[in-house]
Homo-oligomer: A and B are copies of this chain.
Amino acid sequence: MKVSARSDTAQAAPLPVDLADGVFPAGCPSRTVLDHVTSKWGVLILLALSEGEQRWSDLRRRAEGISEKMLAQTLKTLERDGLVRRDAQPVIPPRVDYSLTDRGYELSALLVPLVAWAFENAEDIVNGQR
């Protein structure tokens, strides 16, 4: 799990060929998807929903600092991308539940370790600007 290595021998892992060919060219769809997923609020919403279905107002409170506009926009994008499912119940007061689709869970499974890593290393990185 650890890359045990001296600095000058850290391992170069060659990328899968199709990835190397596909991601680097400008204008490939993966860049768009990556942009949605890695947007400032996209990550947070995906992460929050990975814990299970949640309501609009729950998400609003959870992703501290998000505006209603950005919440709506982010959810719409993720829904269009087939990562989030929207379930609006015709009750009063309105109740809308958001959850991840299967594809969304696939993604969040990859996102969680990344965010965990960022969280664990954040202090070191921000402090140690050497």
Contacts and interface: CB of A to CB of B under 8 A. Distances in A.
Interface of A: 1-7, 9-16, 18-20, 22-35, 37-38, 40, 43-44, 47-48, 50-54, 58, 62-65, 80-83, 85, 99-119, 121-126, 128-130
A91 to B, nearest CB: 17
B126 A33 contact: yes
A68 to B, nearest CB: 15
Given A10-B99, A35-B40, 20 more contacts: A5-B102, A5-B105, A6-B99, A10-B100, A12-B50, A12-B51, A13-B112, A16-B116, A19-B112, A19-B119, A23-B47, A30-B115, A31-B40, A32-B122, A32-B126, A33-B125, A34-B38, A82-B128, A82-B130, A106-B117
A101 B7 contact: yes
B11 A105 contact: yes
A110 B117 contact: yes
Contacts of A58: 1
Contact of A113 (B47, B99, B110): B110
Contact of A52 (B5, B82, B116, B129): B5
Contact of A54 (B3, B22, B29, B53): B3
